[in-house]
Amino acid sequence: FVQRLLIWAYSDVIEAWCHARSFDSARNADTLLKQMEQMTHVDQFIISNNKQELDASLVDELNNVVVSSSNNDDDALHTDDIATITATTTTTSKSSKKPISLLFLPSVQDYSNVILAFSQNHNKDRGSIAAAQRANDLLNRMLQLYDTGKWGSKNKPQPLVFNAVITAWSNHNHNNGRSAKKAEAVLNLFENLYFDPTKPQYDFAPDNVSYNAAITAWSNCKEIASVHKA
């Protein structure tokens, strides 16, 4: 009972941070979410329960963001951003214990709140690769949890979350079109999950917000070719 109250407290504070208009709200909420994941051993839960892995090509398409200062000078400007967010939000659990209970796992609302915080205008990381990548990673984590079939039907990822991740990528005006490609990759993932006959649980399709956010991502690019993509 005490442990359940602790998880509820974490959820309440995460939601409070995400509704706050402070510059650090997204990072603070994300730090609490990582602590929840560590306490409930989410990684081991996914490994031990996810019998049907996400399609490898979709995961690669969603997560394949490479930041290399040796290949692109502009990318080097964002390396510190990613390192900062990773250092302040990532904790590794070396325990071999399984989750205390399914009731104690972070909920879809916990993940959604943090994703939305990273995509909102008042977040100080808005427009950075680090913020978009973190939102992207959290979406992937939600899909992995839901695909275990044991997270509960009420924890189904909603269209709002996909749209928030697309928006997070569109907020980053990367002049080589990489972020726009990532936004479109999330849109493609959204479509593929809906049309995949082996995943009937994803019974919602992209909406006008989804496509408009992807179009915005391409329109924010500085390349002439992006006009045709939009």
Summarize pLDDT for 66-82 with one digit per residue, the tens: 333 334 434 433 434 44
In percent, how much of the chain has pLDDT > 90?
A: 40
CB atoms within 10 A of CB 116: 22
Higher pLDDT, 93 or 186: 186
Report, as an integer, the average pLDDT of 44-67: 54
Predicted local distance difference test score (pLDDT) of residue 105: 86
What would the pLDDT profile of 152-205 be if each residue is shown by its tens digit? 888 999 999 999 999 999 887 665 788 899 999 999 999 999 999 999 999 999
Please indicate whether residue 83 or residue 124 has the higher confidence score (pLDDT). 124
Distance (Å, whole) CA 119 – CA 15: 15
Q: Is the whole-model pTM more than 0.85?
A: no
- 120 or 117: which carries more pLDDT confidence? 117
Q: For residue 213, what pLDDT band results from cuts at 50, 70 and 90?
A: very high
Considering only residues 102 and 205, tell me which one the structure prediction assigns the higher pLDDT. 205
How many whole angstroms separate alpha carbon 226 and alpha carbon 230? 6
Lowest mean pLDDT among 1-5, 7-11, 145-149, 202-206: 1-5
Residue 227 above 70 pLDDT? no
Please, what is the angle between helix 159-170 and helix 178-195, to 10°? Answer: 160
Tell me which range, 35-44, 59-68, 187-196, 210-219, is most confidently predicted by mean pLDDT: 187-196
Provide the 10 A C-beta neighbour count for residue 67: 18
CB count within 10 Å of CB 72 equals: 16
User: What pLDDT is attached to residue 125?
Assistant: 60
What integer pLDDT is reported at residue 120 of this predicted model? 82
CB within 8 Å of 156: residues ≥ 6 apart: 108, 146, 201
Per-residue confidence band for 89, with pLDDT thresholds at 50, 70 and 90: very low
Q: Is the pLDDT of residue 90 over 80?
A: no
